[in-house]
Amino acid sequence: MGALLYLFYNIAAKTTKRKPFIMTMKYILSTIMLAGAMQLGATTITSPSGDLLLNVDVDSQGHPVYSLDFKGKRILEPSKLGIKADETVFADGFTIAGIDTVTVDRTWEPVWGEYSKVRDHFREMAVRLKAGNPDCEMTVRFRVFDDGLGFRYELPVQNGPNYLTVRDELTEFNFNGDHKLFCIPGDYDTDEYLFSETTFSGLPDALDSYGRHTEAQRTGGTTIQTPMLIKTGDGVYVNVHEAALVGYPAMLLDVDTEDYSMKAHLVPDRLGVSAYLQMPFNTPWRTLIVSDDARDILASQLVLNLNEPNKIEDTSWIKPMKFCGVWWEMFTGNQKTWAYSDDHLAKPGVTDYSKLKPNGRHPANTENVKRYIDFASANGIDGVLVEGWNEGWEDWASYRKNRQFLFDKTYPDFDVEGLRDYARDKGVKLIMHHETAANASDYEKQLDRAFQFMKDNNYDAVKTGYVGAIIPRSEHHTSQWMVDHAKHVIERAADYEIMVDSHEAPRPTGLCRTYPNWLAQESARGGEFESMGGNPPSHTCILPFTRLKGGPMDYTPGLFETKMSYYGEGKDSQAGTTLARQLALYLTMPSPMQMVCDLPENYERFPDAFQFIKDVPVDWSDSKYLEAEPNRFITVARKDKHSEDWYVGAITDDQGRVAVVDLSFLPKGEKFEATIYEDALDAHWKDNPQAYRIRKEDTDSAKILRIQLAPGGGAAVRLRKR
C-alpha cells in the first residue's frame, strides 16, 4: 500500500509541470504517504529520476535506521542513526511522530566556479522522531538528489536538557561487499597524505604503511578521513563526505573491515569532548554522491547544494585570480628562508630587528618582490603572494614553544608602502600571507589589526596557514573550536572585503557557496610535496574525486622545472609530472585562486608553453567531464565565463594513454582553432618530463581529438572561437 502510494506520488510529481497543482498534490500526497508510512513503520522516497531509493525505518528497539538502493541494487544496508551526549542519547526508544515531504527544483548562480548556474533538485523527507524515556526529540532531514543523498540531524529545543556535551555520533554507512576504497588515514590534524587505493579487508595493511606524522594526531585503528571514495564490485561509485560543517567537529570514519561498514567518528578536543551544543542545533549534512559513471561524481554539485546560499550581498570585490609568488624559492632546496635572520629571536615586536644579522637568504625583500611584480605585470598575472614578509619566522619551527607572528610588523628589508605603490602602478595586486604557526587564539586577537593593515596597504587577499600543533593546546586542527575559528576568520575577512586562501584549515565542506570570499583551501597534500619526494601522477587523478568535492584546492600547479633538491635536505627530489601535465592541472584542479607556482626564470625557458598559463581562465560558465576513472585519468572541458572559448585538460597516472576528446560539446556549425599542448612521443614523467609539442588545427563540434598522454603526462587544449 505504502509503495503503491509512493509510486503514484512519484509519477504525479514527475509528470506534472504546473506549479500550484504540484504544490497541492504534494501536500495531499505527502499526507497520504505519511498515513501509509505509519502503517508500515517504514517510509521511502526516491530521487527525482527514481534511480536512488531511500528507506527510513525504526527498528524493534526504536533505533532509527536508513538504507539506500541505486538502480534497484542495494548500496547501504540498514544503517543506524543517532547522537550520543552526556545529557541525552538520541538513539533509541524512538517512534516516528511525523513525516514531511517536499520536492524542490531551483537554480542558483555561484559567484565563481565550474558552472554559472547550478540546479538544486531533490526530494526531501523530514522524519520527526520522539522518544519517551529519556524525553527527547530529533528530526532527521533527508534530501535525495539524482546524484546522491544528504541528511542531517536537527535537534529542536527539548523538554529535557538543552545544552549537550556530545561524545559520539552513531551514524553508520553499512556497505555490503569488500569494495574498493580510496582514502587517507584518520588524523585530527592533517590531511596532507597520499591516497591509498585498497579494499575494506586491505585497509589495515594500507594504513600501516603510513607511519606517523610528527606533529599530527593520527587516530590509529582503521579510521579514515572524508571525502573518501568507494567503488563497488558492480561499478557504482560513492563519495562519502559532509556539507556545511558549522559549529560542529569534522567527521572521520571508523571502518569495520570485516562487516564492510563505516561509522561516524567526530573529532574530539583533547578533553575527549566532540561538541558543546545549545538547542536548537542542526548538524552538518552527511553526504553520499552516488553514480555508476565516474564522470558524474566529478560533475556533482551536491555538496554545494546542501550549503546555505551566499551571505555576502555585494560580491563585486570578489575576483577570481591567477597569482605567482615569493614562495617556491623557499621549497626548491636552495636554502632560501622565510626568516630574515638566522639569529635566535627573543620575541617578535620585542626583538630589535635592526640589531639582528640578516642571513642574506631572504627572498621577501623589496627588490626581489619587485621582480615578481614585473613578471606578473608583463604576463597578465593578477597577483603576487609574498611569504616571509613579517616578524616572527626566526622561531617558527619551534612548534612546541610559544609561537607568535606579528601581522602588521614588516621585516626591515620589506618596504610595504613602496611595494604598495609599485604594485599599484604596475596593475598588480599583492597577496598577504598570514602564517599563524597554528597559534589560532593569538591570530584571533590580532585579526582586526591584521586586516586593517592589509586594507591600508591595498591588499585584498590573504593566504592563511596553521602549521604545527594548535594553540589553544586543548584543540586539534579539525575540532569544533577550530571549525568555529575558520568561520570567524572568513566572516571577519568578508567585513573587510578580503578574499581568503586557507592552508591547514579544516577540510572544505562547500562553505565557499555561503562565503564566496573563501576562494580556495589547501587541506590535502599539495604541489609543495613535489620538493619533498614528489607526488605520484595518480595523486591528481584522485583528488578531484575526493578532496575537491568540498571546494577548490590551492594545489599550486604550473611547475616547469620538475627536478629539484629536497626541501630542507641535500638529496634530490623529482615531481611526478611532465611539463604538459602541469598545464592540464589548471583544468582538472579548478580553483578561482590559481597559482603560477614556478620561478619566473623557469617560465622564461619555455615561453611557448607558458602562453597556455597566460591564457587559461580561472572562472567558468560550463564544464563537461569527458573521461574519468579514479586514480587513473581525467579529461575535462570548460567554457570560459567571459568569452566563447573552451579549454580542455587531460591527465593520466603513470601509464600512458590516449585521451579521447569528443568535441560535440562545442556549438554546432561554429569554427574553432585548437592549440594543443601535449607530451612529446618520447616524454615520460621520470626520464623526459620537459618534452612537449604544440600544434594548431581548425576544428568543430563534429571532430574528435585523440591525444597521446605520456606516462605521468597530460595535455591542455585551448579552443578559440574563430
Q: Is 387 in the site for ligand NOJ (CB under 6 A)?
A: yes
Q: 327 or 685: whose CB is closer to ligand NOJ?
A: 327
**Closest residue (Cβ) to ligand NOJ?**
435
Q: Which of 382, 528, 640, 653 binds ligand NOJ (CB under 6 A)?
A: 528
φ, ψ of residue 24 to 5 degrees: the values are -65, -45
Residues contacting 430, CB < 8 A, separation 6+? 369, 373, 383, 384, 385, 386, 419, 420, 423, 457, 458, 459
Q: Which stretch binds Ca ion (CB under 5 A): 265-273, 366-374, 407-415, 497-505?
A: 497-505
Rg of the chain over CA atoms, in angstroms?
Answer: 26
Q: Which stretch binds Ca ion (CB under 5 A): 26-34, 498-506, 617-625, 662-670?
A: 498-506
* Bridge partner list, 169: 83
Q: Which of 465, 552, 576, 689 binds ligand NOJ (CB under 6 A)?
A: 465
Residues contacting 127, CB < 8 A, separation 6+? 43, 56, 64, 96, 99, 139, 140, 141, 142
Asked whether the beta carbons of 446 and 428 are under 8 A apart, the reply is no
Q: Tell me the C-alpha distance between 652 and 710, whole Å.
A: 8
Q: 151 or 327: whose CB is closer to ligand NOJ?
A: 327
**Number of residues in contact with Ca ion, rule: CB under 5 A?**
1
Q: Is 435 in the site for ligand NOJ (CB under 6 A)?
A: yes
Q: 147 or 522: whose CB is closer to ligand NOJ?
A: 522
Q: 263 or 503: whose CB is closer to Ca ion?
A: 503
Q: Is 394 in the site for ligand NOJ (CB under 6 A)?
A: no
Restricted to residues 310-369, the positions that interact with ligand NOJ (CB under 6 A) are 327
Q: Tell me the C-alpha distance between 693 and 715, whole Å.
A: 10
Q: Tell me the C-alpha distance between 267 and 248, whole Å.
A: 9
Work out how close the CB of 215 gets to Ca ion at its nearest, in angstroms, rounded to a whole number.
Answer: 11
528 classed as catalytic: yes
Q: Which stretch binds Ca ion (CB under 5 A): 72-80, 86-94, 357-365, 503-511?
A: 503-511
Q: Is 467 in the site for ligand NOJ (CB under 6 A)?
A: yes
Work out how close the CB of 348 gets to ligand NOJ at its nearest, in angstroms, rounded to a whole number.
Answer: 15
Structure letter (DSSP) for residue 415? -
Q: Tell me the C-alpha distance between 443 and 446, whole Å.
A: 5
Cell numbers 554539485: residue? 301
Q: 529 or 646: whose CB is closer to ligand NOJ?
A: 529
Q: Residue 150 is inside which H or E element, if any? A: strand 148-155
- Report the partner that residue 513 touches, choosing among ligand NOJ, Ca ion, none (CB closer than 5 to 8 A by kind): none
Q: Which stretch binds Ca ion (CB under 5 A): 49-57, 372-380, 496-504, 705-713?
A: 496-504
Restricted to residues 485-504, the positions that interact with ligand NOJ (CB under 6 A) are 503
What cell numbers appear for 655 in the block? 601509464
- Report the partner that residue 242 touches, choosing among ligand NOJ, Ca ion, none (CB closer than 5 to 8 A by kind): none
Work out how close the CB of 613 gets to ligand NOJ at its nearest, in angstroms, rounded to a whole number.
Answer: 19
φ, ψ of residue 37 to 5 degrees: the values are -60, -40
Residues contacting 490, CB < 8 A, separation 6+? 500, 511, 515, 517, 518
Q: 100 or 408: whose CB is closer to ligand NOJ?
A: 408
Q: 215 or 484: whose CB is closer to ligand NOJ?
A: 215
Work out how close the CB of 242 gets to Ca ion at its nearest, in angstroms, rounded to a whole number.
Answer: 21
Q: Is 187 in the site for ligand NOJ (CB under 6 A)?
A: no
What cell numbers appear for 514 in the block? 555561503
Work out how close the CB of 584 gets to Ca ion at its nearest, in angstroms, rounded to a whole number.
Answer: 23
Catalytic residue chosen out of the listed positions 242, 391, 504, 528: 528
Q: Which of 391, 395, 522, 619 binds ligand NOJ (CB under 6 A)?
A: 522
SS (H, E, C) 420-433: HHHHHHHCCEEEEE
Q: Residue 35 is inside which H or E element, if any? A: helix 19-40
**Number of residues in contact with ligand NOJ, rule: CB under 6 A?**
8
Work out how close the CB of 466 gets to Ca ion at its nearest, in angstroms, rounded to a whole number.
Answer: 9
Half-sphere exposure in the Cβ direction for 147 (13 Å, CA)? 20
Q: 65 or 548: whose CB is closer to ligand NOJ?
A: 548
SS (H, E, C) 632-691: CEEEEEEEECCCCCEEEEEEECCCCEEEEEEHHHCCCCCCEEEEEEEECCCCECCCECCC
Q: Which stretch binds Ca ion (CB under 5 A): 221-229, 260-268, 502-510, 659-667?
A: 502-510
Work out how close the CB of 609 gets to ligand NOJ at its nearest, in angstroms, rounded to a whole number.
Answer: 24
Work out how close the CB of 434 gets to Ca ion at its nearest, in angstroms, rounded to a whole number.
Answer: 14
- Report the partner that residue 191 touches, choosing among Ca ion, ligand NOJ, none (CB closer than 5 to 8 A by kind): none
Asked whether the beta carbons of 701 and 665 are under 8 A apart, the reply is yes
Work out how close the CB of 347 gets to ligand NOJ at its nearest, in angstroms, rounded to a whole number.
Answer: 19
The three-state secondary structure class of 103 is strand
Work out the angle at residue 138's Cα, subtended by the Cα atoms of residues 156 and 2, and round it to the nearest 5 degrees: 130
Task: Tell me which residues touch ligand NOJ (CB under 6 A).
Answer: 327, 387, 435, 465, 467, 503, 522, 528
Residues that are catalytic: 528
**For binding to Ca ion (CB under 5 A), which residues are involved?**
503
